[in-house]
Amino acid sequence: MASISSPRRGASRDSSLFLATRQQPMDRQTIEAITRTSDPYLWIDEVVQIDDDQIHARKYLSPEMPIFGAHFANFPLFPGALQCEAAFQASAVLLARTLPSRESEIPVIARVRDVQFRQMVRPGDTIDVVVTREEQFGPAVSLRGRVSVGDQVSTRLAFVATQAAGPEENAAG
């Protein structure tokens, strides 16, 4: 879930996908449909656990990923900005469970604050992404995210997510 992620043309929400968020585990195809994001920009492989207030998602960072050839070729690292994006995408799946939405709306990030990068993430690592709902005010939701490798926290952040008119509404309006 991110303001920089846009839906694929022709993609529309299928309400049965959002019912699927109540089932565990969630497959990659369902995650793609909810987040409206696909490879190479999908940073969640699986949903490990989800309830109305928290999601635990996971991503294996293959050493073969192109990002590792470009982000410090001699010392490859998984960028902190993409760790935040993994949390944003996980939040889109979490909020799909509980926020009322119209099919034409897309998940967006309204604010990011208190970001802390604490540990480097390297090729071959598996990141665990935990996002917790804190407070809802109108259509916006305050959340906290944590990205870890094993028991080491690599990134912490607080952010606000909401939904915005998608391409169908913008074209009609």
Domain segments of the chain: what residues? 15-172
Show pLDDT as tens, one digit a residue, over the chain (173 residues): 433 333 322 333 344 444 444 445 788 899 998 888 998 999 999 999 999 999 999 999 999 999 999 999 899 999 999 999 999 999 999 998 887 766 778 889 999 999 999 999 999 999 999 999 999 998 899 999 999 999 999 999 999 999 888 776 555 55
Query: What pTM value is reported for the model?
Result: 0.83
Instruction: For residues 128 and 5, give the distance between their C-alpha atoms in angstroms, rounded to a whole number.
Output: 21
CATH 3.40.50.970 fits 15-172, yes or no: no
CB 78 within 8 A of CB 122: yes
Catalytic residue IDs: 71
